[in-house]
Structure 1
Amino acid sequence: MHLSHIFPYNRDLSFDIPAMSLRTSALLSLSIAAVLSFPLAQAHGAPASKATTAVASTFNPDSVPVSTRPLPAFPYLDWPEKLQERERRGKTEDFDRAWFVAGNARHAAEGRVSRRSYYLSHAGLSQLAAVRNYEQALKELGAVRIDTVKPYSKDFPAEDAPERNRFIQKEFGIYGKSADYSTWLLRTPEKRIWFGLTVTSQQVRLTTLEEKPMERSIALTKADEMKAALDKQGFIALYINFDTDKAALRDDGKPAVDEIARLLKNNPGLKIAVEGHTDNSGDAKRNKALSEQRAATIVTALKGAGIEAARLKSAGFGADKPIADNRTEDGRARNRRVELVKL
């Protein structure tokens, strides 16, 4: 199957690769542009495809081999040639979270995110043709397929079936078992790049995430500023860093906790509640539990710094108390917070 008529080579990209013709493979304008003349992908779900699938009950992203192939610009895969600009739906955010299926579990990654979708009929593609094209393009970029369970399978982890259904509809765009979903991971010496692909009988939805740390734009709040806010309004929102979907305090979050401890030591009569909040991405029950765990982590750290337990309480509210619009990147970032509340 020759793919240049669907995803033509992007002539703006030039690579000097001896003995390999990108122009011959011609896959990319999907800046599907790193085509290095590999075999066609096996049929989706066929046994042969398992040879390139990383299988693990607890998936380790570092188990995927590092690729040194040259890459086109983010988001690496372009639109199909026949798709008119007015028929393209896409959005890129410099920093956000996206969910993928890694091994047999869901995995959240953070970084630069591109989300794109379009109707197959507008691109002149069948469901199978879209799946085959993306499989080949992703393999030729150097990506490896890493999902080992279908999101709509009863084995896919969730608190209960309705919660699972809401999660996969929101995060993966899957509304029925006819949808074809796959997660692909590309590791380079510098970064990890995730691709979540959903192809239904009508639409394609592609999420591409390039892992990177958040560029901090909010300065550390000092102890005296915390005290002024607590005296004035009874609470203050702080932005303390945790790894995605984890409750362990990161090293770059410790200075904020140190300032909270200094606040309490300078004001021995002050008692506070530490309240955790999340955005609305992902599973609601998991978000609430995570917010509780993160608040408890901070309280534990404060106790370790010599603050009496009787002066501290912790609680978590998940996404139930947003202070900004969860439909925007900035709003979600503001909602992922810890609040100190004066008791």
Structure 2
Amino acid sequence: MVVTILRKSYDEAIKAVGGVKIYEGKVPTEEINRIKEQATYFGEDGSIDYWNNIVKVYVIRRANGDDVYIQLAGNTAGGNIQILQKEAFKQTITMLKADQIQKDLSDKGKAVLHINFDTDKATLKGDGKEAIAEIAKVLNADKNLKIAIHGYTDNTGDEKHNLQLSKQRAATVKDELIKSGIEVSRLTTEGFGQNSPIADNNSEEGKFQNRRVELIKDK
């Protein structure tokens, strides 16, 4: 009875702050074995192990990505609660400056840029416009340089939609360069959607790397 009341109290408290229950039941044996291969500590005498217990898992989703996961487990002899806060992905890739773009185009024939657009849109964020200004510097420094602008996305969402989005983002880069005075005859665009990823789409960092614009030196 006490355990039931305690579980009900936690359930109501978690839901009151926006929590949603995402799992309830016994943890599968294969999952427990997987965890035990990696874990180094399960509490004093296994006190935080949840073998054969009913487990409830909740998530409190936060706008900044710092989601909070809460796990409750127990029986008539006792119980435990575990709380995990997910850290939001922090961008570590810096914007390429004009000299590096020029060097990459010269040495490799292409430069890979991570230009920030609004989520699922082809509209530029503030630092996205700054990135395009760096491209314009390169083109202004070499009036004979022509480039192809290739857009790519990660694999989130519909493949057909991603293909169209990548084309629109490449076109946005082109339009901004034209506004800055670059002749349209020096620019071409293409979009490839989620094809040809350069990183693992199973992580946020990998997805960020795949959302890119490549500048290809037009020979």
Q: TM-score range by the shorter chain?
A: 0.5 to 0.7
Q: Which residue type is aligned with residue 9 of structure 2? A: S
Q: Following TM superposition, by how much is the alpha carbon of 1:279 offset from its aligned partner in structure 2, in angstroms?
A: 1.5
SS in 2 for 1:303: helix
Report sequence identity in percent: 40
Note closer, same or farther for the CA distance 1:313–1:34 as it changes in structure 2 (3 Å cut).
same
Q: Following TM superposition, by how much is the alpha carbon of 1:302 offset from its aligned partner in structure 2, in angstroms?
A: 0.5
Unaligned runs of 5+ in 2: 36-51, 68-85
Q: Distance in 2 between matches of 1:8 and 1:274?
A: 59
By percentage of residues, which structure has more helix?
A: 2
Q: Are 1:327 and 2:202 an aligned pair?
A: yes
Q: Which residue type is aligned with residue 341 of structure 1? A: I
| Bigger Rg over Cα | 2
Match of 2:133 in 1: 258
Which residue, out of 120, 123, 144, partners 1:248? 123
On the 8 A contact 1:80/1:123 being kept in 2, the answer is no
The TM-score normalised by the length of structure 1 is 0.45
Note closer, same or farther for the CA distance 1:193–1:321 as it changes in structure 2 (3 Å cut).
same
Match of 1:156 in 2: none
Match of 1:228 in 2: 103
Q: Following TM superposition, by how much is the alpha carbon of 1:340 offset from its aligned partner in structure 2, in angstroms?
A: 0.3
Structure 2 counterparts to residues 8-19 of structure 1, below 5 A: 9=7
Q: Following TM superposition, by how much is the alpha carbon of 1:280 offset from its aligned partner in structure 2, in angstroms?
A: 1.7
Q: Distance in 1 between matches of 2:213 and 2:128?
A: 11
Match of 2:171 in 1: 296
Q: Following TM superposition, by how much is the alpha carbon of 1:327 offset from its aligned partner in structure 2, in angstroms?
A: 3.2
Q: Which residue type is aligned with residue 116 of structure 2? A: N
On the 8 A contact 2:112/2:212 being kept in 1, the answer is yes
SS in 1 for 2:24: coil
On the 8 A contact 1:8/1:81 being kept in 2, the answer is no
The TM-score normalised by the length of structure 2 is 0.68
Which residue, out of 303, 308, 318, partners 2:193? 318
Match of 2:10 in 1: 26
Unaligned runs of 5+ in 1: 10-23, 37-68, 91-121, 126-132, 142-185, 195-209
Q: Distance in 1 between matches of 2:95 and 2:65?
A: 29
Q: Distance in 1 between matches of 2:31 and 2:53?
A: 9
Q: Are 1:80 and 2:24 an aligned pair?
A: yes
Q: Distance in 2 between matches of 1:237 and 1:192?
A: 26
Which residue, out of 207, 215, 219, partners 2:90? 215
Q: Which residue type is aligned with residue 284 of structure 1? A: E
Note closer, same or farther for the CA distance 1:277–1:81 as it changes in structure 2 (3 Å cut).
same
Note closer, same or farther for the CA distance 1:26–1:85 as it changes in structure 2 (3 Å cut).
farther
SS in 1 for 2:11: coil
On the 8 A contact 2:149/2:188 being kept in 1, the answer is yes
Cα RMSD after superposing both structures? 4.0
Q: Which residue type is aligned with residue 11 of structure 2? A: L
On the 8 A contact 2:91/2:205 being kept in 1, the answer is no
User: Aligned pair count?
Assistant: 185
Q: Deviations over 1:96-145 (max 9, x none)?
A: xxxxxxxxxxxxxxxxxxxxxxxxxx8879xxxxxxx99xx88xx7xxxx
Note closer, same or farther for the CA distance 1:293–1:211 as it changes in structure 2 (3 Å cut).
farther
Match of 1:20 in 2: none
Note closer, same or farther for the CA distance 1:232–1:83 as it changes in structure 2 (3 Å cut).
same
Structure 2 counterparts to residues 1-343 of structure 1, below 5 A: 5=4, 9=7, 25-27=9-11, 34-36=14-16, 69=17, 80=24, 82-83=26-27, 87=31, 215-343=90-218
Q: Which residue type is aligned with residue 34 of structure 1? A: I
Q: Following TM superposition, by how much is the alpha carbon of 1:80 offset from its aligned partner in structure 2, in angstroms?
A: 3.5
Q: Distance in 1 between matches of 2:189 and 2:129?
A: 17
Q: Deviations over 1:64-104 (max 9, x none)?
A: xxxxx4x78xxx757536436854799xxxxxxxxxxxxxx
Q: Following TM superposition, by how much is the alpha carbon of 1:248 offset from its aligned partner in structure 2, in angstroms?
A: 0.5
